Amino acid sequence: MNNTKSMAAGAVMLCGVLAAPFATAATTLESVKEKGHLQCGVTSGLPGFSQPDDKGNWTGIDVDTCRAVAAAIFGDAQAVEFTPLTAKERFTALQSGEIDMLSRNTTWTLTRDASLGLNFTGTNYYDGQGFLINKDLGVNDATELDGATICIQAGTTTELNLSDYFRAKGMEYQPIVFDTSEQTVQGFAAGRCDVLTSDRSQLAALRSKLTDPSSAEILPNTISKEPLGPVVRQGDDQWFNIVKWVLFAQINAEELGITSANVEDMLKSDNPNVQRLLGTDGDMGAKLGLPDDFGHKVIKQVGNYGEMYDRNVGPDTPLGLDRGLNALWTEGGILYAPPLR
Amino acid sequence: MKKQTVDSRPAGPKPWYDPRIRSLFFQFVAIALVFWGGWTLVDNTLSNMESRGISTGFGFLNETAGFGIIMSLVPYDATMTYGRTFFVGLMNTLLVSAMGIVAATIIGFIIGVARLSSNWLVAKLALVYIEVIRNIPLLLQIFFWYFAVLGSLPSPRQSVEVGGSFFLNNRGLYLPEPITQDGFGLVWGALIVAIVAVVGLRTWAKRRQLATGQIFPTFKVGFAILVILPVLAYLTAGAPLEWDLPALKGFNFGGGITIIPELAALWIALSLYTASFIAEIVRSGILSVSKGQTEAAKALGLPNGLTLRLVVIPQAMRVIIPPLTSQYLNLAKNSSLATAIGYPDLVAVFMGTTLNQTGQAVEVVAITMAVYLTISLTISLFMNIYNRAVAIKER
């Protein structure tokens, strides 16, 4: 009797669990505010983009993109917690709600945008795929790579670009696919492959990990377009707008000459564009569900796009990457943000 | 009168007090709840994924994959479908598992017997092997064989060469590939005839031994038949076989058969690791056969080899088979560590690249789990059949 009773009770409880309405989703902004911090997905360590130092502080352009969003919401760029993810894990982590936004040098493609239930909010780095090659092979151009063995990292658009490129040129290759970029470099260093392929911004960083970096060189060819940017879940337009416009605010700030150094002086500016961006005029923040001075907080604490770039990947950093495509449209690049009004 | 007898019988319990009906009822409710629970989970997942705009279904299997795979037992190129990548990955997983099971069994039996050797040095060496290998994590061993051994091999242009047809370098081991010409069917035919002949010979020899007690050297004669018949056929047909030799072309060797270092490293690591466990299982099996059995065999005048083959091992097998099955299952599942060194097995190709390109995690993971379950259950099934064959027949 006791047994049947407890069994029945168990069954009722089970029903309760299964029938419980799946937590009615609050908006992402509400849940982030409630938590008191932004949960941001980044790489497990890629110099210039997202990497923890020996004290556990994260730095990098992807990290700063997250910090800017936190500064816009909380007025505190430190209110971010980072979740290191591999290329394979990243989309699942975002889909399942484990993270609020993904900022992990992720290429914007149609398939990812349309079929994963995700939205790309913009581009914080325009990249392209290139080749790192051992100098001994005496190859100067990617068209001479017929028959080469090539190391790649799994779970990236790189695998498809590589296959497309070689097929288009009628050349053959053998792909060796590793799980992490660390193993890819090891495979290259051990001589398992002739060539290592990845986004050009990464090749410089990966080359610096070799025992003798001068033994390898980066070929001049760029075989693909890799617009890298932050990603959010589909279905929360307010959150999508926030992440999108924080980055646009940073780009507009560079265009308007607002930097973290002069932002306090700029508060007195009578340029209406500057006033709207810094929140001294209009209600741009309120339209997004943010404080009106969000632009001020972002620029003050994180800086404009150019500062973010120079600090992490620019010519004075170990990566030493020129602005190139990532310069403002007014300076020969393709960086162009819609007007903040 | 009749009616009275019926009435005088104690009335059966009401249906809801009948223990039989009640137990059936509760079992039915339990099953219904389990099914309803499962269905709710699936339904919830599907509707949640749909509301979040995530693609579902298995249609992606027919889409073009568009990525290369370094090693494939079936024809594959980047223009084929995701469904094909599944097949390629599956074949590679089965290949390394099968190779691993064979090698691990052979090494394991040798080490297990050596562990019991009366030779002090041999026994201690086997002990050291077992204790070292089984106490280091498998993943580290795979890395060791891959990076340590790979690093010490020369580059393709400085390959180790044997007779102009075998080459070893850090891209793999290159062997000549036999290409059969017209008339090779005769050799296959001869091989089949030889196998049938050996089976017949064995039956005849056994019957003769039962009748007359005379022993026929079945093994030696059978082996001779197996070799001589196909060789004769091969020569009669005019040696219909050509060799495709590997040769250095550009960056790498082309032609012939290539054994890629990823496969070699994974195979060696899986075999050695599992063999250390099998060795202990074999030792326990042999020790479980009581000493009296060996003494009885000796008393009958059986030599050492026959004692081992006819008395000890058949009895030891009963103890060995069940745990051996577990080791085979472990090996098949451990082969998924391939992804760490870039061997294109099911997990690396299908649950790695394919999952990433399509983003259909739920479907891909479900298929992959179903495959490992099927592989494991199949191994289990065959081992159980074998176990039943060697188990004690109660008469």
B154 shares a domain with B110: yes
> Is A98 within 8 Å of chain B by CB?
no
Three-state SS letters, B137-150: CHHHHHHHHHHHHH
- Whether residues A52 and A80 share a domain: the answer is yes
Residue B144 falls within a domain, yes or no? yes
ipTM over 0.85? The verdict is no
Mark whether B120 and B35 lie in a shared domain: no
Whether the pLDDT of residue A18 is over 50: the answer is: no
Task: Return the structure tokens found at A328.
Answer: 């403002």
Q: Quick check: is A16 in a domain?
A: no
Q: Does residue B279 sit in the same domain as residue B364?
A: yes
Q: Are residues A242 and A326 in the same domain?
A: yes
Out of A95, A155, A235, closest to residue B353 by CB: A155
On whether residue B115 sits in a domain, the answer given is yes
Same domain, B31 and B129: no
Distances (CA, A) of A90 to A37, B73, B337: 19, 31, 20
Co-location of B98 and B164 in the same domain: yes
Boundary-marking domain end, from A224, A252, A278? A224
Contact assessment for residue A101 and residue A331, using Cβ atoms and an 8 Å cutoff:
no
Residue A120 falls inside a structural domain: yes
A111 in a domain, yes or no? Answer: yes
Instruction: Judge if A216 and A135 occupy the same domain.
Output: yes
B249–chain A Cβ distance below 8 A for any pair? yes
| Res A15: pLDDT | 41
Number of domains in chain A: 2
Same domain? For A112 and A231 the reply is yes
| Contact B68/A at CB under 8 A | yes
Q: Which of A263, A255, A274 is nearest to A327 (CA)?
A: A255
**Residues A187 and A135 occupy one common structural domain:** yes
The burial class, CB within 10 Å (0-12 / 13-18 / 19+), for B46 is middle
- Chain B partners within 8 Å of A22 (Cβ): 44, 48
Residues B111 and B29 in one domain: no
Tell which of A170, A205, A224 closes a domain: A224
Give the domain range for residue A154. 129-224
Q: At what angle do helices B185-212 and B218-236 cross, to 10 degrees?
A: 160
Residues B104, B275 contacting (CB under 8 angstroms): yes
Per-residue model confidence (pLDDT) at position B395: 65
Can you give the residue range of the structural domain that contains B290? 82-176+245-390
Query: What's the pLDDT band for A5 if we cut at 50, 70, 90?
Result: very low
Residues B167 and B25 grouped into a single domain: no
pLDDT of residue A230: 96
Say yes or no: A321 and A231 in one domain.
Answer: yes
Provide the percentage of residues in chain A whose pLDDT is more than 70.
92
What's the rounded mean pLDDT across residues A48-69? 93
User: In the structure encoding, which two tokens stand for residue B351, read together?
Assistant: 């649950």
Instruction: Report yes or no on B310 lying in a domain.
Output: yes
Q: Does B117 map to a domain?
A: yes
Same structural domain, B167 and B289: yes
What letter represents residue A223's amino acid?
I
Q: For residue A264, tell me if it sits in a domain.
A: yes
Residues A196 and A316 in one domain: no
Say whether residue A10 is in contact with chain B using an 8 A CB cutoff.
no
- Mean pLDDT, all residues of chain A: 88
Give pLDDT, residue A2: 46
- Based on the structure, what is the number of domains in chain B? 2
In terms of domains, do A213 and A247 share one? no
E-assigned strands of A31-98?
38-42, 51-52, 58-59, 80-84
In a domain, A197, yes or no: yes
Residues A115 and A36 in one domain: yes
A69 and A42 in contact (C-beta within 8 Å)? no
Note whether residue B302 is domain-resident: yes
Query: Nearest C-alpha of chain B: how many angstroms from A335?
Result: 28
Burial A157-170 (b: 16+ CB within 10 A, else e): bbbbbbbebbbeee
pTM of the model: 0.80
Q: Please, which residues bridge with residue B191 across strands?
A: none
Find the residue in B nearest to A145 (Cα).
Answer: B251
Position B212 in a domain: no
**Could you read off the pLDDT tens digit of each residue along chain B, which spans 395 residues?**
445 555 556 667 788 888 888 889 999 999 999 999 999 998 888 888 887 778 888 888 998 888 888 888 889 988 899 999 999 999 999 999 999 999 999 999 999 999 998 899 999 999 999 999 999 999 999 999 998 887 788 888 888 888 778 888 888 888 888 888 777 888 888 899 999 999 999 999 989 888 888 888 888 888 998 899 888 888 888 777 888 888 887 777 877 788 889 999 999 999 999 999 999 999 999 999 999 999 999 999 988 888 888 898 889 998 999 999 999 999 999 999 998 888 999 999 998 888 888 888 888 999 999 999 999 999 999 999 998 888 877 76
Same domain, residue pair A67 and A206: no
Are B67 and A163 in contact (CB < 8 Å)?
yes
Which CATH number covers residue B320?
Answer: 1.10.3720.10
The 10s digit of each residue's pLDDT in A284-332 is 999 999 999 999 999 999 999 999 999 999 999 888 888 989 999 999 9
Domain match, B171 and B258 both: yes
Q: Is residue B141 part of a domain?
A: yes
Amino acid (one-letter) located at B234: Y
Q: Is the pLDDT of residue A212 over 80?
A: yes
A265 within a domain of the structure (yes/no): yes
CA pair distance B270, B103, nearest whole angstrom: 9
Instruction: Please tell me the predicted confidence (pLDDT) of residue B7.
Output: 56
Residues B170 and B265 placed together within one structural domain of the fold: yes
CB count in 10 Å sphere of residue B377: 11
In A, which residues are within 8 Å of B251 by CB distance? 137, 145, 147-149, 194
Chain B residues whose beta carbon lies within 8 Å of the beta carbon of residue A166: 68
Domain boundary among A224, A241, A266: A224
Q: Look up the CATH number of the domain holding residue A173.
A: 3.40.190.10
Confirm whether A13 is domain-assigned.
no
Helices (H), chain B: 2-8, 19-51, 82-115, 120-134, 138-143, 149-151, 185-212, 218-236, 261-287, 291-299, 304-306, 313-334, 346-348, 355-358, 361-390
Please give the Cα distance from B152 to B143 (Å, whole number). Answer: 14
Report phi then psi at A50, rounded to 5. Answer: -160, 120
Note whether A137 and A260 are same-domain residues.
no
Residue A4 placed within a domain: no
Closest residue by Cα to residue A96 from B353, B52, B26: B52
Closest-CA residue of A relative to B29 is A11
The Cα A62–Cα A104 span in angstroms is 6
pLDDT at B44: 87
Residues B9 and B107 placed together within one structural domain of the fold = no
Q: How far is A91 from chain B (nearest CA, A)?
A: 8
- For residues B34 and B164, state if they share a domain: no
Is A116 in Cβ contact with B359 (below 8 Å)? yes
Q: State the smallest CA–CA distance between residue A213 and chain B in angstroms.
A: 18
Q: Do B251 and A160 touch (CB under 8 A)?
A: no
Calpha distance B60→B65 (Å, rounded) = 9
Order across the sheet with B160-162: list the strands. B160-162, B166-169, B172-175, B257-259
Q: Is the same domain home to A122 and A232?
A: yes
Q: Within 13 Å and on the Cβ side, how many CA atoms surround B124?
A: 3
